[in-house]
């Protein structure tokens, strides 16, 4: 077979393959979200929010578990994919286009189901407030400045009812960590196989920015797609995230976990952690 040229494009513009790359994480993440809500909320959790929900793996999974779901994202291809998924499964969720940075952007909102499509104008913070929110898989690090990260957390706090929680997962960079890192994994569904390679291209500790390259190889029957996408992410040490949280007094840090999602084994926040999941709770008013 002839070698194919690499397509330079965002992997978010190929939602069916992006979704497949992370599908095996879905059930474990959803189970942990439910467990964290039971452990840290003093009320029954029914309404959930996912900022930057992407293709909506978790929106659909939790909607199927009978939660009232709201999700938003900047990527229209991802949102269109999510809406089709909800229709196909006969599920309902409020889905709209907005930025996870403070205030978002106004756009059309649709409460999607197999039966109805309601049109409205919607931004965030959410009103009425939700019981809990979550963001996993390093999405938070797309906010490249301290101001943007703080604004996001403040919007989350305004979107939560008092005592509600934000389950926030992202990578910390230990001070002595190697600046060279490569991850590779493969997922398969039917005749389609997706292999993802994530590589750190550059690290700027002073500016707290690292540049990642994603290479995605998709094989489906005789068809082959090679996709490459480069983007920056903000870097955090444990101390830097603690400092950020002190600037958002409406949120308190309850516990820290890692990507094993063991709800009965919270960890101590330290420079030894890399894959972290924070439980932040809105203080009672």
134 alpha-carbon distance from chain centroid: 7
Which class does domain 24-173+236-282 fall in?
A: alpha beta
Confidence of residue 3 (pLDDT cuts 50, 70, 90): low
Per-residue pLDDT of 27-45, as tens digits, reads 999 999 999 999 999 999 9
pTM, whole model, 2 decimals? 0.92
Per-residue pLDDT of 257-267, as tens digits, reads 999 999 999 99
pLDDT score of 110 more than 70: no
Q: Mean pLDDT throughout 8-34?
A: 95
pLDDT score of 151 more than 60: yes
pLDDT of residue 82: 98
Q: How distant, in Å, are the alpha carbons of 105, 229, 264 from that of 57?
A: 23, 21, 25
pLDDT score of 111 more than 60: no
**C-alpha to C-alpha distance for 253 and 249, rounded to whole angstroms:** 10
Q: How distant, in Å, are the alpha carbons of 65, 113, 142, 262 from that of 93?
A: 12, 7, 24, 28
Confidence of residue 104 (pLDDT cuts 50, 70, 90): low
Q: Mean pLDDT throughout 5-14?
A: 87
pLDDT of residue 4: 66
Residue with tokens 């009965």, as numbered in its chain? 264
Q: How do the domains of the chain map onto residue ranges? A: 7-12+175-234, 24-173+236-282
Q: Mean pLDDT throughout 14-32?
A: 96
Sheet holding 130-135, edge to edge: 117-122, 107-112, 93-97, 68-73, 47-51, 130-135, 160-171, 275-282, 251-257
Residue 32 dihedral angles phi and psi, to the nearest 5°: -65, -40
Exposed/middle/buried for residue 248 (C-beta within 10 Å: 0-12, 13-18, 19+): middle
- Percent of the chain with pLDDT strictly greater than 70: 91
pLDDT of residue 117: 35
pLDDT of residue 122: 60
pLDDT of residue 113: 45
pLDDT of residue 115: 31
pLDDT of residue 126: 85
Q: Mean pLDDT throughout 171-187?
A: 87
Q: Largest alpha-carbon pair distance within the chain? A: 64
Per-residue pLDDT of 225-252, as tens digits, reads 999 999 999 999 999 999 999 999 999 9
CATH code: domain 7-12+175-234 is 2.20.25
Helix 15-22 × helix 76-89 angle, to 10°: 70
């Amino acid at each position: 077979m002839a070698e194919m040229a690499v397509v330079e494009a965002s992997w978010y513009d190929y939602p069916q393959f992006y979704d497949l790359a992370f599908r095996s994480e879905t059930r474990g993440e959803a189970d942990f979200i439910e467990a964290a809500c039971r452990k840290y909320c003093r009320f029954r959790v029914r309404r959930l929010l996912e900022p930057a929900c992407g293709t909506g793996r978790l929106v659909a999974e939790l909607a199927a578990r009978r939660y009232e779901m709201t999700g938003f994202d900047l990527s229209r291809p991802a949102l269109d994919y999510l809406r089709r998924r909800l229709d196909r499964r006969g599920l309902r969720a409020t889905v709209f286009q907005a930025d996870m940075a403070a205030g978002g952007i106004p756009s059309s909102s649709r409460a999607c189901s197999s039966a109805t499509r309601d049109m409205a104008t919607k931004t965030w913070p959410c009103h009425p407030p939700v019981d809990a929110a979550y963001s996993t898989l390093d999405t938070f690090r797309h906010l490249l400045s301290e101001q943007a990260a703080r604004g996001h957390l403040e919007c989350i706090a305004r979107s939560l009812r008092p005592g509600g929680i934000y389950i926030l997962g992202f990578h910390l960079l230990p001070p002595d960590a190697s600046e060279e890192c490569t991850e590779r994994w493969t997922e398969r569904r039917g005749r389609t196989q997706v292999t993802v390679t994530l590589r750190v291209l550059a690290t700027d500790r002073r500016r707290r920015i690292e540049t990642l390259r994603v290479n995605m190889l998709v094989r489906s029957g005789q068809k082959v797609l090679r996709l490459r996408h480069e983007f920056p992410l903000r870097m955090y040490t444990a101390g830097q995230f603690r400092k950020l949280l002190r600037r958002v007094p409406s949120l308190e840090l309850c516990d820290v976990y890692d990507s094993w999602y063991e709800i009965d084994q919270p960890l101590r926040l330290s420079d030894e952690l890399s894959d972290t999941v924070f439980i932040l709770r809105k203080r009672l008013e």
